[in-house]
Amino acid sequence: MDDEQQLNPKRESYKVRLQRNKSISWLSGPKPPQQLLGPENHYIPHRLRFLGKLEKRTLSSTNWFRNGVVILVIYALWIIANALLAKYSWYQSSTSLGTPEMLSCTSSFWSRLDGCGLDGTLCQPFETQPMPYRCPRGCESTTLANKRTVGLNEPNGMTLVVGGGQEGEPLASSIYRADSWICSSAYHASAISKSKGGCGAVRQIGQHTGYIGSTKNGIDSVSFPSSFPSSYIFEDDVESSHCEDYRMPILVFNIVMSVLVSLILSPKPLVYYWTLICMGYWNNALASEPRSIPPDLEGAFKDFLPMLFVAYCIWRLVVRFCLPFWRNMPIERTVLTLVPFWLGLLVTVLGESPLDRLYGPDIADNPDAVVTIVIVVIIIVVLGLNQARVFRNTGKFWLYIKWYFLLGLFVIMPACLLPTLSFRLHHYILALLLLPLTALPTRVSIICQCFLIGLLINGVQRWGMDSVLQTKESLRRDAALGSALPSFDSFENNTISWEAIPSNMDDSWDGFELLINDVLRLKANASTHSYTFERNDTSVPYFARLAYANGDEAGDFTKAATVFINNDTMVPPEPGPS
């Protein structure tokens, strides 16, 4: 047989071409192509066919409401109700100490590393009168994206709370380091409710030594055994009003209204589509996923018009081939559109996910994120194969293959080859890439389509239309720079010393910065190689971290060297940046 094939290469080539042509012909679909006539043309269990009669009864009983004037009045009342709820939720709070300052989930009195300047002067005063504040609900889900050094501890993937004392201690004894996130600390101290947020008063009390970590109200805090120049406690007996976070009631109200609009008003498909787009966008902007606390209305309006343009393109290219087929099926349309739509719209709100963002280094550093990616890819592949089957039956398989090939060849591949830029797949980009595959009047298509539209709105409203290609600097967040690290030399006579800048790095660095107990205590030129401790408290350890500097910019700091003044000893730092 092998000899026959070698003697007849043309015959073998003909067989290969024939098989290839058969495969291409099969992928091109049947002749003539199948015509999809809508959801009623697809399989549904016999026991559920009573829904057809129920759909007709629902349409006939709600016919009076499907009037343009009625729809306009209800939509106007819906918009006014959202505006009033947002105003009541964000802009009417007060306390017995005055108007509270609205805090975000990461607000604190202290900046990381050298952000507070030499001896913390940029973060003064360290002692203040009680300051009224207001915190939103849900800050326990806001966690560190990269490790943060607190003495020898390096908390990561958790809220930043240092100290707070043990369970059952009064507020006056629950002392927190100034770099602790105030709202998470308030949860930890039971000063406000995690589920409702609220108002209170916080007072800075200056230096404190010995911060005791604990777990209270589901919030973990970190211990710090040494001193820090700024601390705070929460005050008791502060009267407040209009301080609860009403984002959840606003969300419930909008979900209920969307169900009533779909079932009772049953607007035309185009009106229904724009209702989802506008309602979803402003629900997230004002309540479920605002960009800041209080909501950044300027930023929301800035991206609203581009979002409307993108939504129009999606209607023309995708949605009009699917959603109109459910016009006379209000019950099924309500279930198949609103459930996935709200899931997509609230995908970053419903629960914590190990997959923070679709960026290679983040995924590689988190095994749980890899598992999540595998599951997501499997789901996309399974659904994609189903959609490819339907596209084949309708004769559109090669049309979509051609357009996706051209997109990859002339847009994605050249963009990924640009220097100094890294690829990051934002989830709104993922939605845009997958939405064209749902331009079919099938139940699977409308479910996936509405989920992706919700995902698109979530991404655009929350983070804006970020580029799919970004510099490593913009993706780094507060992670280490990857710069060179200096080395400590010795500790004796209360003086810690370090090695000089190597001669091959003279052009990159011209000095040093030294953190003692996470506070910048020295900013010196290249000729300074030591620092002498003041013998304030010899009973506690001190933690020293050193970095090269170039002008006002510092490189990475070393991990902490532990200094014991009482016996003149030093434990060298572990390798690597902090």
Q: Where are the domains of the chain?
A: 2-31, 59-85+246-473, 96-241, 488-571
Distance CA 101, CA 72 (A): 38
Sign of CA dihedral 431, 296, 243, 143: positive
CATH for 488-571 (3.90.1560.10, 2.60.40.10, 3.40.630.30, 3.30.1370.60): 2.60.40.10
C-alpha neighbours within 13 Å on the C-beta side of residue 539: 2
pTM for this entry = 0.84
Q: How many whole angstroms from its chain centre is CA 210?
A: 34
Question: In terms of DSSP bridges, do strands 131-135 and 101-102 run parallel, antiparallel, or are they unpaired?
Answer: parallel
Peptide bond connecting 414 to the previous residue in cis, omega within 30 degrees of 0? no
CA distances from 362 to 128, 138, 373, 376 (A): 40, 24, 12, 16
Distance CA 175, CA 49 (A): 64
The class that CATH gives domain 96-241 is: mainly beta
Cβ neighbours of residue 220 under 8 Å, at least 6 residues apart? 158, 159, 161, 213
Residue 510: its H or E element: none
CA distances from 244 to 104, 236, 249, 258, 566 (A): 15, 17, 11, 25, 50
Position 562: which residue type? Answer: T
The pLDDT value given to residue 45: 59
| C-alpha closest to that of 185 among 206, 204, 209 | 204
* Helices 397-407/367-393 angle, 10° precision: 140
C-alpha neighbours within 13 Å on the C-beta side of residue 156: 13
Over the chain (578 residues), the average pLDDT of each successive run of 10 is 51 67 76 74 57 79 82 94 89 90 93 92 92 91 88 91 88 92 94 90 94 92 94 91 88 95 92 96 92 88 94 95 90 94 89 61 66 85 90 87 83 70 81 93 93 95 83 75 90 90 85 94 90 82 93 92 89 91
Decide: helix, strand or coil at residue 392.
Answer: helix
The pLDDT value given to residue 19: 72
Q: How many whole angstroms from its chain centre is CA 516?
A: 33
Give the DSSP letter string of 20-82: HHHHHHHHT--SSPPPP--GGGS---GGGTHHHHHHHHHHHHTGGG--HHHHHHHHHHHHHHH
Distance CA 185, CA 189 (A): 6
**Token pair for 170:** 């009064």
Peptide bond connecting 125 to the previous residue in cis, omega within 30 degrees of 0? yes
The pLDDT value given to residue 362: 64
Q: Is the CB of residue 163 less than 8 Å from the CB of residue 177?
A: yes
Q: Is the CB of residue 171 less than 8 Å from the CB of residue 233?
A: yes
Q: How many whole angstroms from its chain centre is CA 363?
A: 14
Residue 127: its H or E element: none
Distance CA 447, CA 444 (A): 5
Q: Given 3-state DSSP classes, what are the helix, strand and coil percentages for the chain, each rounded to the nearest 5?
A: 45, 15, 35
Distance CA 42, CA 446 (A): 13
The pLDDT value given to residue 499: 92
The pLDDT value given to residue 349: 79
